[in-house]
């Protein structure tokens, strides 16, 4: 199946690269819309979108135009100076999101670190927590990135082993799992968050849906209860919407499903239009006021090239109708997948074009992904037992129908 050309390139990566990933054996060199091509010219439907970073589709012509135009004018100047694209971009992001203030970063993990710094300063300077005592409540099964601080509060041993010592000030509470035994809103989770709250708590930091954790979708009402708990205890609610935000779940932000608004919002991935790493932390003027010159920064954060691309990426969410398409195509894909009755499928969950198929222990999600690849579909497992389907938000019904036939064919083979 894999050609010599591909094998040679894979071998080079094996020789010269650190082995911190376990990629599917395929070497890509082109992307357009929902499709990817390998170096031998074979075509694949992308149902993974670079972990939701490519919501707009590969090489979106309007984003490429903005990218190349801006690259010819000014790309990097640093924030030692004001730039035109940055001013326009943060005004747009603030107005679209309804958050007063924006702090730009590049990768998701950096924006999470920014949120942690903001929450701690707010805790000390507004709430009056004693020096170095601030605590942030995080959820079991969280994924917020790969810095040493962030992996320090992960519950995944694989992410942490050998990387300590870790930072203090993070307390783990239970997440609301749709498949837990609680009848309505997950009482186990709410109780454990209540128990973790104390006078030193400055923030609760969670994903509205846990992506890397396995597309874990909390029961409706959970996030609203969390909002109330944070209000009652004078604690910031900070949502990591790096993966769930910008239309992925069929709303601009996943928190809209619950009719709440967090105090801090972390964005990344699709914000870069599938072309550049662009992330941001958003909050109120009050929370953001605790950053002063010298307290935080990034050489590349908010650069003119990234700002122009992100600005256009935001426009296109509406111009290309990506949010609505995610909702409509997502519920279609989920409904059709749910029609497939195979003994090894435990649960199908998710919102919008972000669907997890959980398999039982008799079958490996990675093997299914390999079989899907042979049928021309690129998907990636998470946590050994979950296949994630998260195609670019531009996907059309006939493309989904084609994928469904192939998925069904692969599932049949394993039944």
Ligand X SMILES: *Cc1c(COP(=O)(O)O)cnc(C)c1O
Q: What is the binding site for ligand X (CB under 6 A)? A: 51, 107-109, 112, 143-145, 207, 211-212, 240, 242-243, 268-269
- The distance of closest approach from Cβ of residue 388 to ligand X in the complex, given in angstroms and rounded to an integer, is 11
Question: What DSSP assignment string belongs to 332-354?
Answer: HHHHHHHH---TTEEEEEESSS-
38, 86, 99, 143: the catalytic one is 143
Under 8 Å between Cβ of 230 and 236 = yes
- The distance of closest approach from Cβ of residue 145 to ligand X in the complex, given in angstroms and rounded to an integer, is 4
Residue 97, H or E segment: helix 84-97
16 three-state secondary structure: helix
Q: Which residues contact 54 (CB under 8 A, 6 or more apart)?
A: 31, 46, 270, 274, 392
38, 46, 240, 263: the catalytic one is 240
401 three-state secondary structure: helix
Residue 101, H or E segment: strand 101-105
Cα 80 from Cα 17, distance rounded (Å): 35
For residue 104, report the phi and psi dihedrals to the nearest 5 degrees.
-85, 140
Is 240 catalytic? The answer is yes
- The distance of closest approach from Cβ of residue 255 to ligand X in the complex, given in angstroms and rounded to an integer, is 13
- The distance of closest approach from Cβ of residue 72 to ligand X in the complex, given in angstroms and rounded to an integer, is 27
Give whichever of 37 and 166 is closer to ligand X, judged by the CB atom: 166
Residue 57 gets the label, from left (phi > 0), alpha (psi -120 to 50) or beta, of left
**226's tokens:** 């969390």
Residue closest to 268 by CA, chosen among 117, 157, 40, 105: 105
251, 269, 351, 380: the catalytic one is 269
Which residue of the chain is nearest ligand X when measured via CB?
A: 108
For the chain, state the CA radius of gyration.
21
Residue closest to 368 by CA, chosen among 331, 328, 340, 335: 340
Give whichever of 38 and 258 is closer to ligand X, judged by the CB atom: 258
CA angle 322, 323, 329 (to 5 degrees): 80
The number of helix segments (H) and strand segments (E) in the chain equals 14, 15
H-type helices in 98-200, by residue range?
108-122, 148-152, 157-160, 187-196
Cα 353 from Cα 333, distance rounded (Å): 8
Is 143 catalytic? The answer is yes
The catalytic residues are 143, 240, 269
């Amino acid at each position: 199946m894999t050609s010599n050309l591909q094998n040679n390139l894979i071998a080079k990566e094996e020789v010269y690269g650190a082995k911190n990933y376990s990629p599917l054996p395929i070497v890509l060199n082109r992307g357009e819309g929902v499709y990817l091509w390998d170096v031998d010219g074979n075509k694949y439907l992308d149902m993974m979108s670079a972990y939701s970073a490519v919501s707009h589709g590969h090489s979106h012509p309007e984003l490429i135009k903005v990218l190349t135009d801006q690259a010819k004018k000014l790309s990097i100047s640093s924030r030692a100076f004001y730039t035109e694209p940055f001013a326009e971009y943060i005004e747009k992001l603030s107005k679209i999101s309804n958050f007063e203030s924006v702090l730009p970063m590049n990768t998701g993990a950096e924006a999470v670190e920014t949120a942690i710094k903001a929450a701690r300063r707010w805790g000390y300077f507004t709430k009056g927590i004693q020096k170095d005592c601030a605590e942030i409540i995080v959820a079991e099964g969280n994924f917020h990135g790969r810095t040493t601080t962030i992996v320090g509060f992960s519950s995944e041993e694989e992410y942490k082993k050998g990387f300590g010592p870790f930072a203090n000030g993070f307390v783990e509470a239970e997440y609301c799992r749709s498949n837990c035994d609680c009848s309505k809103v997950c009482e186990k989770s709410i109780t454990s968050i209540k128990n973790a709250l104390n006078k030193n708590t400055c923030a609760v930091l969670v994903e509205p849906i846990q992506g890397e954790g396995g597309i874990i979708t909390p029961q409706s009402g959970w996030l609203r209860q969390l909002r109330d708990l944070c209000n009652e205890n004078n604690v910031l609610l900070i949502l990591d919407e790096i993966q769930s935000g910008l239309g992925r779940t069929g709303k601009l932000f996943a928190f809209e499903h619950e009719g709440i608004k967090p105090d801090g919002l972390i964005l990344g991935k699709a914000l870069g239009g599938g072309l550049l790493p662009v992330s941001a932390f958003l909050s109120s003027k009050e929370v953001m006021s605790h950053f002063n010159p010298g307290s935080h920064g990034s050489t590349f954060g908010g650069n003119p090239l990234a700002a122009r691309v992100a600005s256009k990426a935001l426009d296109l969410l509406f111009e290309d109708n990506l949010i609505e398409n995610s909702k409509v195509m997502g519920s279609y894909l989920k409904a059709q997948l749910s029609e497939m009755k195979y003994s090894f499928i435990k649960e199908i969950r998710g919102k919008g074009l972000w669907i997890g198929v959980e398999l039982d222990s008799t079958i490996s999600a990675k093997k299914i992904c390999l079989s899907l690849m042979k049928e021309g579909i690129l998907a990636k497992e998470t946590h050994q037992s979950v296949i994630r389907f998260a195609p670019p938000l531009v996907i059309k019904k006939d493309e989904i129908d084609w994928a469904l036939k192939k998925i069904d064919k692969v599932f049949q083979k394993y039944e």
